[in-house]
Structure 1
Amino acid sequence: MSSSSTLSRPLSALAQHVATGLRQTPKALSSMYFYDDAGSRLFQQIMALPEYYPTRAEFAIFEQHGAAIAEALRPAVNGPFALVELGAGDGSKTKVLLREFLRTDADFTYAPVDISAGAMSGLVNGLQQEMPGLQVAPVVSDYATALSQLGSRPGSKGVLFLGSNIGNFAPADRLSFLRQLAAPLAPADRLLIGFDLQKDPRRIRAAYDDSQGVTAAFNLNLLTRLNRELHADFDLANWQHFTDYSPLSGAVRSFLVSTRAQQVRIPALDETFQFAAWEVIHTENSFKFTLPQIEELAAQAGLRVVDTFTDADTDFADVVMAAHE
């Protein structure tokens, strides 16, 4: 493939991201590209692993405190409101809240937001069968677009950002994102965010490097996706998954490690990338928090903590926030 023919075609978002990420030092790729169909299936397996506690912990919070969480999200003044969920996925935890709102005859509309039209279609079809009385207004969009539309929604709203996804942001990006979330919120609106809490460092590390190797397959699948979509020639036999956790920073960092000196050709970019032996590609952050850190983060974003719900082992926290009066 000639350079001129490659450059004559616009690059996909994935190709642009890979070009930027692999040209920098250290090399990095975003975890947002983990979730092709195979990646999504692998993550479903991860959530069922004995080492992976976050999903079970948050689900336990919803089962134990569902009524109180629904009450905390419900507007103080009776009237219609929207329950907006960023990154809805399969909605398994949210269904606990939806049933609680339906049980109490709340006048609300569920507005799930997901970038995947396929995932959204599956969620909406499932909800129509399980909860035929539920009003659903799906939004197939990225977070940035959805956030820009939040302020134009009439009535009160509760915004959900569950599953410890907030931990995937680097500190500066996390604060910027929270400020974006806070900007369209009226004082009566509520924001519910899931935070994975700091705990035994060995338990945290094991959750991201399980004994069955499913998390390793999930990380390596990113290279398989680049081979398929960008026609790269990553040899997965020359790569391994590595995860580390720092109790000082609260950061789990995941990497793909080149086990030998090698070069990788990516025809979609008309470029060859050199990798030294044991050079890494940083693929994911997953930060863990303390409750005082969450309070401080909320304050920096112009928010206040209204309620905090934790599981029995204090592994996880779902925190309700609001804009200042």
Structure 2
Amino acid sequence: MIEIVKNKEVAQENVICDDLEQFKTDIENGLQENPKTIPSMYFYDKKGDALFQEIMNLPEYYLTRSELDIFKNKTDQLIKAMDLQADSYFELIELGAGDGLKTKELLKSLDTNNFKFDYFPIDISSNALDLLEKDLNEVLPNVSVKTKQGDYFKVLDALKMSKKPKIILFLGSNIGNMTDDLASAFISKLGANLAPGDKLLLGVDLIKSKDIVLPAYDDSKGVTAAFNINVLERINTQLDANFDLSQFKHSPEYNEKEGIAISFIESKSDQTVAVKAIGKSFHFEKGEKIQTEVSRKYNDVLISKIILNTDFKLDTKIMDNKAYFADYILTRY
């Protein structure tokens, strides 16, 4: 899911957006585009967070299980690939930490083997961070958890002042919510906030057949559909809009050759929607689609291309047992 950046923005009591002006601007600009778009970061209010947690447990949604398989069963390989030493302090920084499901497996092993580190989960969702910190304090009380709420790069800019060795985790194929050019720029920007020798663990979904991929974005229970449509409900609530949710439907697509899954919200009828907080109305033709999320799938060639003009080199690739998913270990040079 965009498991971009899955940037998370949580609303106070699911009503007030942390940056309402930015929300207005992004929705206005997106709905004026042709084709129309809504940034995927706005999936994640309290309801969106809960729906995505439900999605991750669906039988069709293989992504979480696949990367969890790596973190549970190949933890020693991960630690070795990241060149971690028990007697050398490092900072473990996770971008878009969410509920930390997979990372907990790594944290357990590091804690058991007395590694010296601080864990910095970064997320735009304060709700997700609060829940994660509470959980880790209960299940791994010896692990030092220092939550950081906000934009990835603003937090990284502050953390780089420590000059300590850093391991960046960017999991769940969040990178797949970006175009290849944006992904390359994103990784380049990460490199600018790191020192030579620092590591990036990049989790990506691998290119697979349509019969495996598409159901992950169109489950039989309709949870993903509810997750996608929820962004319209959020616009209604926070921007005083009048989207009739019954007149829109979830409409995903997957191009197996290119390895790109796209989620759309499709209008079921000719209709006009007013967004009072913006002071504008937007017309939709029957069958017209709003693009809400792009989920790129990868292979070695694509990863090599994306990091070609960055300050990273590829060290190791670790896959789950079905070879659905890969964690690439990159080193900043």
Q: Where on the TM-score scale, by shorter chain, does this alignment land: which range? A: over 0.9
- 1:184 aligned to 2:204? no
Q: Is the 8 A contact 1:75 1:156 kept in 2?
A: no
- 1:281 aligned to 2:290? yes
**2:208 corresponding residue in structure 1:** 199
Q: Which amino acid aligns with 1:317?
A: A
Q: Is the 8 A contact 1:254 1:283 kept in 2?
A: yes
Where 1:249 maps in the other structure, the secondary structure is: coil
Q: Which amino acid aligns with 2:105?
A: V
Q: Which amino acid aligns with 1:198?
A: I
Deviation of 1:54 (Å): 0.3
Structure 1 residues 83 and 140: CA distance shift in structure 2, 3 A? same
- 1:65 aligned to 2:74? yes
Q: Which amino acid aligns with 1:155?
A: K
CA distance in 2, matches of 1:14, 1:159: 28
**1:142 corresponding residue in structure 2:** 151
Where 1:182 maps in the other structure, the secondary structure is: helix
- 1:79 aligned to 2:103? no
**2:314 corresponding residue in structure 1:** 305
- Out of 114, 117, 123, the position equivalent to 1:105 is 114
- Out of 33, 36, 46, the position equivalent to 1:27 is 36
Q: Which amino acid aligns with 1:42?
A: L
Structure 2: tracts of 5 or more residues without a match: 1-18
CA distance in 2, matches of 1:172, 1:305: 18
Q: Which amino acid aligns with 2:323?
A: T
Deviation of 1:277 (Å): 1.4
Q: Is the 8 A contact 2:61 2:217 kept in 1?
A: yes
Q: Is the 8 A contact 1:76 1:188 kept in 2?
A: no
Aligned-residue CA RMSD (Å): 1.5
Deviation of 1:48 (Å): 1.0
List per-residue Cα deviations over 1:152-187 (Å, max 9, x = no partner). Answer: 233101000001101011122111101011122223
Q: Is the 8 A contact 1:26 1:280 kept in 2?
A: yes
CA distance in 1, matches of 2:198, 2:239: 43
- 1:171 aligned to 2:180? yes
- Out of 319, 323, 328, the position equivalent to 1:314 is 323
Q: Which amino acid aligns with 1:208?
A: Y
**2:165 corresponding residue in structure 1:** 156
List per-residue Cα deviations over 1:83-111 (Å, max 9, x = no partner). Answer: 00011111111011111111221111111
**1:50 corresponding residue in structure 2:** 59
Deviation of 1:259 (Å): 1.2
- 1:229 aligned to 2:238? yes
CA distance in 2, matches of 1:144, 1:101: 26
CA distance in 2, matches of 1:173, 1:110: 27
**1:218 corresponding residue in structure 2:** 227
Q: Is the 8 A contact 1:147 1:180 kept in 2?
A: no
- Out of 35, 38, 42, the position equivalent to 2:47 is 38
Deviation of 1:11 (Å): 5.5
- 1:17 aligned to 2:26? yes
CA distance in 2, matches of 1:78, 1:293: 36
**2:13 corresponding residue in structure 1:** none
Deviation of 1:69 (Å): 0.7
Where 2:188 maps in the other structure, the secondary structure is: helix
List per-residue Cα deviations over 1:53-87 (Å, max 9, x = no partner). Answer: 00000000111111221232244694211000011
CA distance in 1, matches of 2:162, 2:102: 24
List per-residue Cα deviations over 1:107-165 (Å, max 9, x = no partner). Answer: 11111111122221111111111111111121111123123234223310100000110
- Out of 88, 91, 98, the position equivalent to 2:100 is 91
Q: Is the 8 A contact 1:240 1:257 kept in 2?
A: yes
**1:258 corresponding residue in structure 2:** 267
- Out of 122, 130, 136, the position equivalent to 1:121 is 130
Query: Once structures 1 and 2 are overlaid, which stretch shifts more, 65-74 or 23-32?
Result: 65-74
